[in-house]
């Protein structure tokens, strides 16, 4: 998950520090996230799920399905891309995908709208 396209990362009240941020600043649902709290990740000091022998596990598949259906992105595709190309090319690709065509602002996956001008790039 690229937190740079998440609306909770940009909101003013209860601004999320990002999935990998400090727990105390996260909302309960993020704190309790089963992916962040995955024992495999913690025990192996993994950075990405593709380092896990269980990929794709059931919880990752469920999350991926939810995001593909509702939020115009795939966690599994992102993981594949990062594994093949590295994190920098991924972020570059993301920047293009989520850029507002009208004002170059940031479009978030939750809602599919530009944070700056409100242009609807992805319809839900
Ligand atoms: Zn815009």
| Predicted TM-score (pTM) above 0.85 | yes
- Of the two residues 20 and 90, the one the predictor is more confident about is 90
Distance 119 CA to ligand 1 centre (A): 5
Q: What is the pLDDT of residues 28-65, one digit of tens each?
A: 888 898 898 999 888 888 899 999 999 999 999 999 99
What residues are neighbours of ligand 1 (ion), with CB under 5 Å? Answer: 100, 102-103, 105, 114, 116-117, 119
How confident is the model at residue 13, as a pLDDT?
A: 85
* String of DSSP letters for the chain: --GGG-GGGT-STT----TTS-GGGS-HHHHT-TTTT-HHHHHHT-SSGGGSTTPSPHHHHHHHHHHHHHSS--HHHHHHHHHHH-HHHHHHHHHHHTB-TTTS-BBPTTT-BBTTT--BSS--
């Amino acid at each position: 998950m690229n937190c740079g396209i998440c609306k909770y990362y940009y909101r003013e009240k209860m601004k999320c520090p990002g999935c990998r941020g400090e727990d105390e600043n996260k909302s309960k649902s993020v704190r309790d996230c089963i992916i962040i709290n995955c024992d495999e990740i913690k025990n192996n000091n993994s950075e990405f799920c593709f380092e896990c022998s269980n990929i794709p596990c059931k919880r990752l598949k469920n999350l991926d399905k939810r995001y593909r259906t509702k939020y115009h992105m795939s966690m599994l595709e992102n993981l594949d891309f990062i594994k093949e190309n590295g994190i920098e090319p991924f972020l570059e690709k993301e920047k293009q995908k989520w850029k507002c065509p009208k004002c170059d602002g940031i479009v978030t996956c939750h809602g599919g709208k530009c944070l700056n001008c409100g242009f609807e790039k992805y319809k839900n």
